[in-house]
Amino acid sequence: MWLLLVPWLAHAEVPLPSYREDMAEDAWYAMNAKVEAGLERDNLARSVDDDGTLREEAKALYREAIAWAEAYEAQVLATAGLAHLRGLAWRYLDEPAKAEEAFHQSVARDPDYAAPWSDLGELAMADGRWADAREAFTKVSELRASGEYAWLGPIRLAEVAAFQKDTTAFEQAVRDALSRGWSIRKIEGDDRWRGFYADPDMRGSVEKLVLVYGDRSLLESIAVPGG
């Protein structure tokens, strides 16, 4: 039914600035609900013995959400929030290139929007594009300097440094994350940190930080069996 509404909205008068913010917020919540519906199906598929039906239903919901956002952006209002949610939907569809394109559109519309910068960093890190990852997570660190997730940028910068075997930057970024509320306990059993601890170039730094800010049980949780 929503597809019939969009052309009509496109011919409405251009809203005043005060209304644009309300429209952007309403559109974000509508799109977010669509993406979450797909994610709910995805999570259910992972928790049961799914024959592929639930996963296909999830993909269909993601594609529906993307189509809705693209139509809304083209005919009503293009926002950073909608572009970011499109990127998330593409990411859930295992389409990283399309996800990255959407995230770039999001930060182009609002360079101070931290969430798409974080997702750009995650995609770059997954590809081993360390310079791009460092740039994105530096933006996250600057934009989220306080609050509940102020540690996210620094801890991702620490992980980028660890992959590059830069012990100085790694230790500095970990301490920055700790000063912003991150807990060293978060590494317990973490596969990524298990890899850092197994790396001869990083082992000393990891051990030092864990023993200063945590305890030996944390090291045991990331130790490679037999290593």
Q: To the nearest whole number, what is the mean pLDDT of the chain? A: 89
* 11-30 average pLDDT score: 67
CA distance 100 to 123: 7
Distance of CA 151 to the CA centre of its chain: 14
Could you read off the pLDDT of 127-183 as tens digits, one per residue?
A: 999 999 999 999 999 999 999 999 999 999 999 999 999 999 999 999 999 999 999
Q: Which residues contact 73 (CB under 8 A, 6 or more apart)?
A: 79, 82, 83
Of 9-23, 87-101, 131-145, minimum mean pLDDT range: 9-23
Model pLDDT, residue 226:
64
